Every structure is written in C-alpha cells, then in structure tokens.
C-alpha cells in the first residue's frame, strides 16, 4: 500500500502517492491509526463530527442549485460582454478560492478570452495598491463584486466604500448600482441591507459555509464565471470527488490517508508542511491551501504550519534549507500528469551554450526530471514526501482538488483534536486594530 488510485467518471482522479513518506512513517503505523480512528472517519463520511451550520459545503449537490447557477451565469455573461475591469473585493476565504482557480486557468494558459481584467481589492490596506486599482479603473467599463460573510471585516468594508464612491462618481448612483454585485449573508446583514437600499445584484454567502470552505458557492463561482471558467465542470469535479471519498474504504481513501500521514508526521516533530509544485499557475492555489489548513488547524498550541514552494525557482532559494536545514519539514508535491503541449528544444547549430545534450527533447521532460530529482533528493535528505498527482489543470480537476483538500482538512482537524471550522485567533489583531482606530 503506497498509492491510492481510483478511476472516476472521467476515468481519472487525483492520486495520492506516499511511498516517499517511508521510512519516516511506517506502513504499520498508518494502518494502526486508520484502525484506531475508523469510527471517526465513518462519522465524518456521514457528515457528522461537526455542527450542521458549518457543513454546507459537504454535500456538493446542495451547492448545485439550478436557479442560482443560472443567475450567476447570466450576471457573469453580462459582465464579460460589457466590462473591461472586474474588481473582486474580499479577503481570506472570500477571495482566495476564486483567485486560485482564476490564476490557474488564466487566459495565458487556458486560451479563455482575456476580458474583463480581474483586479483583487479589499485584501490589503495599502494606499499605493488601492490608488493603483482606482487609477487602472479610470476610463474603463468597471464592474464590482464585494464579498463578505461578516461585513464587519475592515479591509473589504472600507475598500468597498472607496470603490463605491469611485463608481458613483463615475457612473452616477443609479448606473453604478447596476454594475455592483454584493455576495453576503442574506440574513439581514449590513451588506444585504446596503445592497437592497442601493439596488445591487445580491448573491448568497451561505450561512452554513465558512469563508475558507466557500469556494464552490456563489462566493467563488461568480468571479470564476466572470473570468470565463466553466463552473458546472468545477462542481462536477467536486461532486465526483465527494462520491469517490464517500464510497472508498478508509484505508483506500486518499483524503483520509493524507490526513492520517500528516498527523502521524506531526507527532514525530514534522511541524511544517510545504505544498510544492512546478507550475507557476498553481501559486495561488497553494495560497488557498495555506489558508484552508493554516486557519483550520493552527490553534490550541498545535497544528502543522503550511507553506509553499514554487519550483524550480524556489530550489534556488529555500531548496538549500529544505535539503540540509533543521529537520522538521514534510513536503507534499502537487504534480500534473497530463502531457504538456509540445515545445521541442531546438538543435544546437553553433550556439555553444553547453546544452547540446538536450537538443530536440521536449521541454516538458525538464520539469519532470526536476520533480523526480527533487523528490529523491529531499527524501534522501530527511524530508518525508507525499505526492498529490492531478490528471490535468482544468475546471473539473480544480473542483476535485478543492473538495479533496476541504474533506482532508475536516478529517485532519478532527484527528488533531481542533475545530477545523472556527478561527478565534483572527479576532486578536482585529480587536487591537479597532482599538487603535477608535471604533466605538
Ligand atoms: O475562512 C474564514 O472564515 C476567514 O478567512 C474569512 O473568510 C475572512 O476573515 C473574511 O471574512 P468576511 O467574509 O466576513 O469578510
């Protein structure tokens, strides 16, 4: 037992390979931990072990509400036809999921028409950044989606005030309202009230879904659809992954295995997990993963600290530490299986650059060789390695990945003994900041 592969509807699914976690964790320990926690895994599989008011993401089919999907697609189509710029205002779980998918499927990689330009705002408080957002928007046809579960969060709240003023000054209040969407809790929240008073298009931030688990709701799907992504394919990927995880035996369930192995490694002192990849287009996916696991597990004085490396660039910086620094790192590689587009390396002619041994090879073999070499070197250097292999980068497989990690995080948090759905620590800086700013 060192890989888990299961063919799904499309014939291929995410695969977890953990042979390179040995000998840092043993096969017997993995079996023992699974046996010890079987009841827990079964409960999780039934959507238990958490209050129902945070498990809205668990049954993907409940997210596939046809009238809502149609409303999202219609609005997105209108924005794509008429907009030059789409400003996505949100922070944390309110923007990370959409940004992860949009960056992974960016037009320069996917061929999806590059309009409108997506600009992220409300995820920092930097003056220069906001000025640049407003400057880029001048003279352009601008649409906005402000996303907040709890509209008390300062960053999106105050940035939306600045952007709203820009929109109203540019278009007048009436037309500005037709260009603004608000995605928030539809339970009388202040964002809902503001949206109703102004006449914005309102989309639901489901009450029973927390920010970092919200990527497959209107929170993530509207911006993705504006960027031209096929959101139905994404939901289909998530639904198929849900099915796979639901029906797999514990010892063959890749999300359970991933959660078990990383928790066993944490107990042995491997307190930092690096999600490494060889595709720059996955950098923001890795940031989504960092938020999911960091905010879900880092509490009660425990948890694995999640971080990321983008290779091969980071092999020339953090690679040194990973190879020979303090031994507390575990590394999970996110690799892509699909054959890359043909890009042959030209013949040498008289280049004399020392790379003749590569002539006429496919460029893709270089990245594959870099992966093979890195996993071997890091494993030999004392780093337990896992490999999460994805058949390809597409909406469908991103849907699988989002669901896979959400489910794994649910399992992992429970193994760790923390609540993976709260984030009490985030309030500490907020309280202090509000004191400094004199909030009544
Ligand atoms: O996962 C979470 O719940 C958080 O990261 C929130 O998404 C983040 O704090 C933003 O919250 P809000 O949508 O209320 O502005």
Residue-wise pLDDT for 309-330, tens only, equals 999 999 999 999 999 999 999 9
Mean pLDDT of 342-359: 86
Nearest to 205 by CA among 422, 406, 57: 57
How would you classify the pairing of strands 117-121 and 85-89?
A: parallel
Question: pLDDT confidence of 440, banded at 50, 70, 90?
Answer: confident
Contacts of residue 430, Cβ cutoff 8 Å, sequence gap at least 6: 153, 154
Question: pLDDT confidence of 229, banded at 50, 70, 90?
Answer: very high
Contacts of residue 42, Cβ cutoff 8 Å, sequence gap at least 6: 250
| Per-state percent for the chain, helix, strand, coil, to nearest 5 | 55, 15, 35
| Residue 295 annotated among the catalytic residues of the structure | yes
Catalytic residue among 316, 326, 349, 350: 316
Mean pLDDT of 196-205: 98
Q: In the prediction, which pLDDT does 350 show? A: 72
The strands making up 305-310's β-sheet, listed across from edge to edge, are: 3-4, 15-17, 385-390, 329-336, 272-277, 305-310
- What's domain 60-229's superfamily in CATH? Glucose-6-phosphate isomerase like protein; domain 1 (3.40.50.10490)
Q: In the prediction, which pLDDT does 169 show? A: 98
Q: How far is CA 314 from the centre of its chain?
A: 20
Whether the pLDDT of residue 351 is over 50: the answer is: yes
| Residue 316 annotated among the catalytic residues of the structure | yes
Question: pLDDT confidence of 341, banded at 50, 70, 90?
Answer: confident
Q: In the prediction, which pLDDT does 398 show? A: 98
How would you classify the pairing of strands 180-184 and 329-336?
A: unpaired
Q: In the prediction, which pLDDT does 11 show? A: 63
Whether the pLDDT of residue 211 is over 70: the answer is: yes
Residue nearest to atom 2 of ligand 1 (CA): 211
Whether the pLDDT of residue 234 is over 50: the answer is: yes
Assess contact for 85 and 142: CB atoms under 8 A: yes
Q: In the prediction, which pLDDT does 9 show? A: 43
Q: In the prediction, which pLDDT does 6 show? A: 38
Computed over every residue of the chain, the mean pLDDT equals 94
pLDDT digits (tens, 9 = 90+) for 119-159: 999 999 999 999 999 999 999 999 999 999 989 999 999 99
Structure token pair of residue 373: 């070499």
Distance 95 CA to ligand 1 centre (A): 9
CATH architecture of the domain 3-36+234-423 equals: 3-Layer(aba) Sandwich (3.40)
Whether the pLDDT of residue 111 is over 90: the answer is: no
**CA 395 to CA 233: how far, in whole Å?**
6
The torsion defined by the Cα of 217, 285, 263 and 18, in degrees rounded to 10, comes to 120
How would you classify the pairing of strands 385-390 and 15-17?
A: antiparallel
Whether the pLDDT of residue 5 is over 50: the answer is: no
Mean pLDDT of 242-249: 96
Nearest to 50 by CA among 400, 296, 254: 296
Ligand 1 site-directed mutation target among 211, 290, 427, most atoms within 8 Å of CB: 211
Where along the chain do the CATH 3.40.50.10490 domains lie? 3-36+234-423, 60-229
Mean pLDDT of 40-62: 92
* CB of 92 closer than 6 angstroms to any ligand 1 atom: yes
Strand partners for 118: 86
Strand partners for 385: 331
Cα dihedral 381, 386, 391, 394 sign: negative
Whether the pLDDT of residue 8 is over 50: the answer is: no
Mean pLDDT of 65-85: 97
Question: pLDDT confidence of 2, banded at 50, 70, 90?
Answer: low
Assess contact for 391 and 240: CB atoms under 8 A: no
Looking at per-residue pLDDT, the higher value among 217 and 60 belongs to: 217
Locate tokens 């928030």: which residue? 184
Long-range pairs, 66-74, Cβ under 8 A, ≥24: 68/203, 68/204, 68/218, 69/221, 69/231, 69/232, 69/235, 71/203, 72/203, 72/218, 72/221, 72/222, 72/225, 72/231, 73/225, 73/231
Assess contact for 238 and 61: CB atoms under 8 A: no
H or E segment to which residue 117 belongs:
strand 117-121
Mean pLDDT of 349-355: 81
Whether the pLDDT of residue 1 is over 60: the answer is: no
**CA 289 to CA 308: how far, in whole Å?**
9
pLDDT digits (tens, 9 = 90+) for 265-313: 999 999 999 999 999 999 999 999 999 999 999 999 999 999 999 999 9
* CB of 254 closer than 6 angstroms to any ligand 1 atom: no
Whether the pLDDT of residue 4 is over 50: the answer is: no
pLDDT digits (tens, 9 = 90+) for 23-38: 999 999 999 999 999 9
Distance 90 CA to ligand 1 centre (A): 8
H or E segment to which residue 243 belongs:
helix 231-247
Distance 8 CA to ligand 1 centre (A): 33
């Amino acid at each position: 037992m060192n890989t888990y592969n299961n063919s799904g509807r499309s014939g291929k699914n995410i695969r977890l390979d953990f042979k390179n976690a040995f000998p840092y964790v043993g096969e017997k320990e993995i079996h023992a931990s699974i046996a010890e926690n079987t009841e827990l895994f079964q409960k999780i599989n039934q959507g238990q072990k958490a209050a129902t008011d945070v498990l809205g993401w668990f049954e993907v089919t409940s997210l596939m509400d046809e009238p809502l999907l149609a409303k999202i697609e219609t609005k997105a189509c209108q924005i794509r036809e008429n907009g030059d710029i789409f400003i996505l205002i949100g922070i944390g779980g309110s923007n990370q999921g959409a940004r992860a998918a949009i960056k992974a499927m960016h037009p320069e990689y996917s061929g999806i028409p590059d309009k409108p330009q997506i600009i992220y705002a409300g995820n920092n408080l930097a003056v220069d950044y906001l000025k640049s957002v407003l400057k880029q928007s001048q003279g352009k046809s601008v649409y906005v989606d402000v996303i907040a579960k709890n509209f008390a969060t300062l960053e999106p709240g105050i940035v939306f005030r600045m952007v709203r003023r820009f929109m109203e000054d540019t278009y007048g209040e009436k037309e500005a309202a037709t260009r603004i969407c608000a995605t928030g809790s539809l339970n009388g929240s202040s964002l809902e009230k503001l949206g109703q008073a102004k006449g914005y298009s309102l989309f639901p931030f489901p009450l029973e879904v927390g920010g970092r688990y919200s990527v497959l709701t209107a929170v993530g799907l509207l911006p993705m659809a504006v960027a031209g992504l096929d959101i139905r394919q994404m939901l289909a990927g998530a639904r198929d992954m849900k099915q796979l995880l639901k029906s797999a035996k514990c010892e063959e369930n890749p999300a359970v295995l991933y959660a078990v192995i990383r928790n066993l490694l944490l107990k042995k002192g491997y307190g930092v997990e690096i999600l490494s990849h060889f595709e720059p287009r996955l950098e923001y996916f890795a940031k989504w993963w960092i938020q999911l696991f960091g905010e879900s597990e880092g509490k009660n004085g425990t948890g694995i600290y999640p971080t990321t490396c983008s290779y091969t660039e980071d092999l020339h910086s953090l690679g040194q530490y990973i190879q020979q620094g303090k031994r507390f790192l575990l590394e999970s590689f996110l690799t892509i299986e699909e054959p890359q587009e043909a890009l042959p390396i030209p013949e040498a002619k008289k280049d004399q650059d020392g790379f003749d041994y590569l002539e006429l090879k496919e460029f893709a073999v270089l990245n594959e060789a870099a992966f093979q070499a890195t996993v071997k070197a890091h494993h030999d250097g004392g780093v337990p390695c896992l490999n999460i292999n994805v058949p390809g980068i597409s909406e469908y497989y991103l849907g699988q990945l989002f669901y896979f990690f959400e489910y794994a995080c649910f399992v992992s948090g429970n193994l760790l003994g923390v609540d993976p759905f709260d984030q009490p620590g985030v309030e500490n800086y907020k309280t202090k900041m509000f004191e400094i700013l004199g909030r009544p």
